[in-house]
């Protein structure tokens, strides 16, 4: 076995970090590591946490990490951060906010960017989920950027989906709209010490009872109130998360999530691969671009010509 991989499997933090970097680079070496890890038994419970900015996602995750750590569990956290419009890199704001809990020996936190993916999850994030699973982590928590209602990729790749809301911010109206508020297995009302908490709770329960949410009809989504900054309600949330895990196992759906996750990984990898080909094709065929704004422009002819060049490259 490769020395780096061996050390990563033993839990050495530096080795894990280097391994993830090689995987993220999409090098042959990195993809070989990922392939090996994906052949190992899958056991990790994946938990997706999303919600509008300012809802306290990072604070709540920090509290979950503390509780899981006390139980002796190994926890990996993937923080999907907004992308830089120039480099597509992560701004890493949430990583800084979690530095306190990152010092725990059985905790590993990694930030990745959305890489411009509107669904909220990037290729790197999906590869890291597989890597952490193969490395033997018990819990994998994924926090997405919560930009509006676009983080719906979570429904295809994690076991338990947790959606955060905050009273007094208009969320009681947002919950009635399509998108982000239709994917939750558990809805958390954070900062529950604020006024209007009952109004938001009623709105979420109305959504659940009206069957507008896109959930398994045999699992009725839970509603949990927390004050994450004080640790209030966190144990209740953990209890509901474990109930949902047991439900998935009992109904034989736990492994199905892994299958869907890997299909999504393949899909996003291929999209990323072809996007690079298309960008390169456009940059090396500027003669087509020069005639876009004049009377010689023939959209159909240009598209057919470029498609022909793509076929020739295979």
Q: Which residue has the tokens 């020996």?
A: 105
pLDDT digits 0-9 by tens, 276-303:
888 888 888 777 666 666 666 777 888 8
Question: Is 178 or 295 the better-scoring residue by pLDDT?
Answer: 295
160 falls in which pLDDT band (50, 70, 90)?
A: very high
Nearest to 146 by CA among 163, 161, 129: 163
Q: Does CATH number 3.40.50.300 belong to domain 41-254?
A: yes
- Mean pLDDT value across residues 58-80: 95
pLDDT the model gives residue 303? 85
Q: Where are the domains of the chain?
A: 1-39, 41-254, 265-312
pTM score, whole prediction: 0.87
Check whether 18 has a pLDDT greater than 80. Answer: yes
């Amino acid at each position: 076995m490769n020395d780096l991989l061996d050390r990563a499997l033993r839990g050495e933090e530096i080795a894990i970090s280097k391994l993830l970097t090689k995987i993220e680079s999409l090098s042959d070496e990195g993809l070989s590591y990922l392939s090996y890890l994906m052949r190992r038994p899958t056991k990790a419970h994946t938990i997706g946490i999303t919600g509008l900015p300012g809802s306290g996602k990072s604070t709540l995750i920090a509290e979950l990490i503390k509780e899981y750590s006390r139980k002796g569990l190994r926890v990996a956290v993937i923080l999907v951060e907004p992308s830089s419009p120039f480099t597509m890199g992560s701004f890493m704001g949430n990583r800084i906010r979690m530095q306190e809990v990152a010092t725990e020996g059985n905790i590993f936190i990694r930030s990745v960017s959305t890489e411009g993916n509107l669904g909220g999850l990037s290729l790197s994030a999906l590869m890291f989920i597989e890597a952490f699973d193969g490395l033997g982590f018990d819990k994998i928590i994924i926090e997405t950027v919560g930009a509006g209602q676009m983080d719906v990729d979570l429904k295809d790749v994690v076991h338990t989906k947790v959606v955060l809301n905050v009273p007094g911010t208009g969320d009681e109206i947002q919950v009635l709209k399509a998108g982000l508020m239709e994917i939750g297995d558990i809805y958390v009302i954070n900062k529950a010490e604020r006024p209007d908490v009952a109004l938001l709770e009623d709105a979420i329960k109305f959504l659940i009872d009206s069957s507008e949410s896109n959930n398994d009809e045999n699992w009725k989504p839970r509603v949990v109130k927390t004050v994450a900054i004080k640790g209030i309600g966190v144990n209740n949330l953990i209890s509901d998360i474990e109930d949902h895990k047991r439900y998935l196992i009992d109904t034989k759906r736990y492994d199905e999530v892994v299958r869907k996750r890997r299909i999504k990984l393949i899909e996003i990898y291929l999209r990323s691969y072809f996007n690079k080909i298309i960008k390169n094709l456009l940059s090396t065929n500027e003669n087509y671009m020069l005639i876009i704004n004049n009377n010689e422009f023939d959209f159909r002819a240009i598209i057919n010509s470029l498609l022909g060049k793509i076929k020739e490259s295979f």
